[in-house]
Every structure is written in structure tokens, then in C-alpha cells.
Amino acid sequence: MALLTVQVRGQTLERLIFKHARGHVPGVVERVLDLNPGLAGLPDELPTGTTITVPTVTDAVRRPVTAPIRLTD
């Protein structure tokens, strides 16, 4: 787990997590909202100084869980 603090105006939760995780990782935003009660009640642009607990994103989390569907053989 890591603690992130909003340091710039106009920062959104999605942008903050995207930057921290170095890309889009499915389910991370939902996990952050679970870890930080009350965060969903804040405005879209997070107030400067807001501290957020973020889970560690590993390579195992980045891997797709299901295999792609093949339409032809």
C-alpha cells in the first residue's frame, strides 16, 4: 500500500491512479474507493492536500484473467 497526496489543482482520482499504476489497471479505482471511505463524496477534482491510500499494483494484477476469444481457427 502507498499513501498519495494530491499536490496540484485539477487532479482527478482516475488520473492520480493512472499515473501511480503507470497505465490502466482494471479494478484499481474501485479498490481505492473501498480503502478510502468518504473519497467518493469529494468533488471530481480532488482538493489539494487530500491523502489517499492506494494498493500496490503488481504485474500479476496487470495480467488479463481470461484468455481472448478466438472467432476462427
Mean pLDDT for the stretch of residues 29-46 = 93
Give the pLDDT confidence score for residue 42 in this predicted structure. 93
- Is pLDDT above 80 for 65? no
Strand pairing class (2-5; 51-54): antiparallel
Note the pTM of the prediction, 2 decimals. 0.73
Bridge partner residues of 47 (DSSP):
none
Return all residues near 28 (Cβ < 8 A) that are at least 6 apart. 17, 21, 54, 55, 57, 61
Percent of the chain with pLDDT over 90: 52
